[in-house]
Structure formats: C-alpha cells, structure tokens
A and B are shown apart, each in its own frame.
Chain A
C-alpha cells in the first residue's frame, strides 16, 4: 500500500508539472483543462467539508457555485456596460477586480448557505438530501426567469476580470492564481479538520448523541460547516465563471450539484486530496472519453457504478487502503 501523503505529494507535483510542460510545449488547451480541474477541485474541497467531515449529503451545492458565478457575472456585466448596480440607497457600481468579486461571491454564498442551512438542518438523512436538491431547483428556476441578467441565455463577459499585478488573460497566469487559491483552500481544510471545531464536527457525524452529552450542539457545528462549505463553493463558482467568461443557469442545475459530489466520491470522501484527485480524473475522463465517443457519459456512469459498488473509499482509498480515515 502506498501512503496517502505520497499520493497527495504526487497530485500536487502533477498540478505544477503538467501546466509547466504545457507552457513549454505550447499547449494552451491543456492549461485550460488544468484550470478547469483546479476550479472544480476548489468547489469539491468545499463540499468535502460538509460531506466528508460533517456527513451532510448536500445535493444542492450548485446553489453556492451558481451564486459565485452570478456574483461575478452581475458585477462584471455592470462594469462592462457602465451601469450602476444600484443607485439608491447607496451607489453600487460594477467591478472588474477579481479580489472584490471573490469577496462578494464568498459573502453572498455564505449568506445563502446560512439561510439554507438553518432551514435544511431541521431535517436529516434523505429529507436533507431532497431539501437541498429543492433549494437548488428554486435558484435554478429563479435564474432562468431573471431576464434582467440574461434569463435562460446567461451572461457573457467579454474580457476576463483583472488581478493586481497579473495578466489574467495569459492562461498560465490565471491557472497560477487558481492553483494558489486551491492550495489556500486545501491548507484551510487541513487546518480545519485538525482544529477543535473539526474534531467536534467529526465526532458529531459519528456519534451525535455523545457530542450533545458533552455540551456541544451538533446542529450548530453542522451549520458552521455548511456555511464554510458553501463559501468555498461560491469562490469556485466565481473562478469558473471567469474561466469561461460566461454564466448561465446551468451552474445552478442539479447536474452541477451531482458533478461536484462525483468529484468528491471519485477521489475519496473525507480525504484531504480526494476532491482534487476526483476533479483531475473527471476532467481527464471528460477530455479523453469525450474524444473517443459522443456517448462518454455511459462510460463515466459505468466507472462510477463500479467505484460505488466495489471500491470503497474512492480512488485514493483503492490505492492507499483505509489507513488515514481516522487520523
């Protein structure tokens, strides 16, 4: 058995080496694919906090992903059309600055996660899965009927937003930015899992009654985890919108929620690098299988089935065994 830390190190090395090779070999499309994988990985690391650590099977993380996307879309749309977002009671203007957009995306999606979390955490089990799914649909239909921001057609942003000191139009520089954020989010998730909060959350997943007995409130722990998880997914949504320079209601669709969950489970639930491995493998499969056959979703479906039925612990679990689940 290979140690999980070695797999993690290898994954990080690939995240650096493949794009560097692509720069030398002049393969900008590979860089775009890697950026896609890195952004998906951020969203999945976010979901993993709720799913792996908190045991909250949320089938509605597309809400936060989409809100992040629309935060970017709306701010940049107003900036490119030189119109104000609101004139009263305070003048709010659009912006093309990534840091501002990211903070907005995080703020909006955490607020949504707080409200949705308070409502959804009254339920558990299957009810929780379905109520999060229903919230996703609520936002999806709202986005479709919101004609001011493109409705069903979505919003196109003509020029990628800027980051001080970088040329974000250069694929490798934008990738570097996404990779840096991914590392930041990974460090955060790692520190969180080791922190007293993370330990309590882990305990609340495994033995909620005992956690309650020692005077902690499992629902509050889960709510905090859900909000953190949503905030990270929102950040990923803003980056995803910037990668495509386009937002549409598809970001809110339940297939998006399903895909984010697939990244986590493909790689390995509750493992630090599980979401990263899952996103990388997914994007690679999407690219290779998509090139082989128009019907590549069949093979993806079969692969997923095999992993669920026979490979407990996702890809990392298959390679490393079950050693690190409780560390």
Chain B
C-alpha cells in the first residue's frame, strides 16, 4: 500500500515537474539569449490554455485545441516581442520587471474582458481518459502518464533543436556573444523574435496540457510562473539542463512534501497539529529548497553567470 502510494506520488511529482520544465525552458532560454526577465511568461501559459479551451470547445477536438494553444501562444509571443519586449533588452532589470508586470495586467484583464471571470473547462479526450494499469498492479490516470511522455518528448526535441540544428547553433552563439553573431550576418532581431515565440509556444503548450486537469481561468499563469522562476533559479539561469533538473526537484519536493511532511510530523506531534504544521511546511518546502540551493551555490546548480 505505502509503496504503491509512493510510486503514485513520484509519478505525480514527475508529471508536475515536467510541466514546470516546459514553462521554465522558455524562461531560461529567453533569459540566456536576450538577458530578459519576463514576468509575462505566465500570461502566455494562460493564453495557451484559453486558446485550447476555446478551440476544443468549438470543434470538439482536443488535438486541434493543442495546436491552437501552440499557435496562439507563439503568435502572441511574437507580437509582444515586436511591439514591447524588443525595446527592453537594453534597459535594466528593473524596467523589464515593471514593463512585463504591466503586460500581465493587460493580458489578464484583456482575457477577463473577452472570456469573462468564470473558468472554462477543457476535457480530457476519451482516448486518454481513464486509468491504466502499470507493472506491479498500480492504477494510474492515462492522461497524466501521457503528460510525462509528451513532456519528455518535447524536452528531447528541444535538446536536439539546440544541439543539432542551425537555429540551435545561432541560439547558443547568441547566449555567448550577441555582438559577434550580429557581425557574422545573422539577423539578431529575427532570432530574438523566434526564441521568444518558441518560449511562448512551450508555455502555451504547458498551459493547454495542464488546463485539462485544472480549470482554465484568469490568473492561472502566475502561480506557475513563480514556480518556474524557482526552477530556473535552482537550475541556474540560462541552462536548459538546469531547468530540467530543477523542475523535477521542485515537482517531486512539492508533491512528496505535501504527503510525507504531515506524516513525518505525526511521529512527534499529535495528529491535528501535525497535519496543520506539516501542510504549511509542505507549501513552503520548495522555497526553502531554493533558498538552500542559493546559499550553497549563489548561481544555481548549473548556472554559469551570477
């Protein structure tokens, strides 16, 4: 029983971590290449979820919804980059924080304006619903398992894109020396727009996938955004590998902490107090983890620059 629970919770943690990775990969890429801190990344996650819910609701096809999420978030990302973000690269972090905070206000209220304050629902398609039996007789929801697989595939694709393709070479070169690659004749403005749209598409994709297990509503992006920040700070800003490991650490800590910290507290406290203290400790656990990592390694686990 307790082993099955443990395996289930580890899978939940992996699934949560992989979704965080999709968010964090975009954030860390945008910071690594453009040096931009983007608070509005959570809004792109929200846009993806709303596009998916609207299209899937209208056509009845989950797959079309996912495509709409990717396209919608990428287009929104490219537009925002061209209209606003482009003017922020040369400014300091303070201006970037404020301008992207302003973008959050605009996106959130704009979405509320269009879709209203009530949450939308995105249903898991029939072919992915229901439980699946894993080796060892563990019942686990198929959809969550699919999320893990899809996330890993996207992660692998991202790795191949960065390490094997011409665009990947340009992105890595942009991280190291942007003046030099501009001097070599690469259209740096176009590269930045592509990277931003790529990050946005990843965020929108994650939003759509998670939207099917939670409700799709205004403000859904910000909690995830902050967790994604925690992830990239733990992993080291600019490092995709760091983002993956950070995301899995955060996902597992949050999920397992929520279950096992209250249990652990029961060893020395009475049950009611243990549950109360344990669950409040669990909700803080990832921030404690982050503080600990930063104290030991101020530039994160795989960070090159501080």
Contact = CB atoms under 8 A, between A and B. Distances in A.
Interface string B289-306: 011001100111000001
A123 B283 contact: no
Contact of A302 (B102, B230, B284): B102
Interface core residue of A142, A296, A297 (most chain B CB under 10 Å) = A297
A301 B229 contact: no
B276 A298 contact: no
B207 to A, nearest CB: 19
* Chief secondary structure at chain A's binding surface: helix
Contacts of B91: 308
A262 B98 CA distance: 7
B110 A130 contact: no
B266 to A, nearest CB: 17
A138 interface: yes
A126 interface: yes
A51 interface: yes
A261 B294 contact: no
Contacts of A265: 94, 98
B101 A127 contact: no
A123 B299 CA distance: 7
A133 B39 CA distance: 11
Contacts of B87: 309
B230 A130 contact: yes
Contacts of A135: 287, 291
A130 to B, nearest CB: 5
Interface residues of B, number: 45
Interface string B47-60: 00000000000000
A144 B232 CA distance: 25
A122 B295 contact: yes
A141 B254 CA distance: 13
Interface string A284-315: 00000000000111101111110011000000
B244 to A, nearest CB: 18
Given A130-B232, A135-B287, 20 more contacts: A51-B94, A123-B298, A126-B237, A127-B306, A129-B37, A129-B97, A135-B291, A138-B284, A141-B280, A141-B284, A141-B287, A145-B280, A146-B280, A254-B226, A295-B109, A295-B113, A300-B102, A300-B105, A303-B102, A305-B103
15 contacts: A119-B295, A123-B299, A125-B306, A127-B298, A127-B306, A129-B93, A141-B283, A141-B287, A261-B98, A297-B105, A297-B106, A298-B113, A304-B105, A308-B91, A308-B99
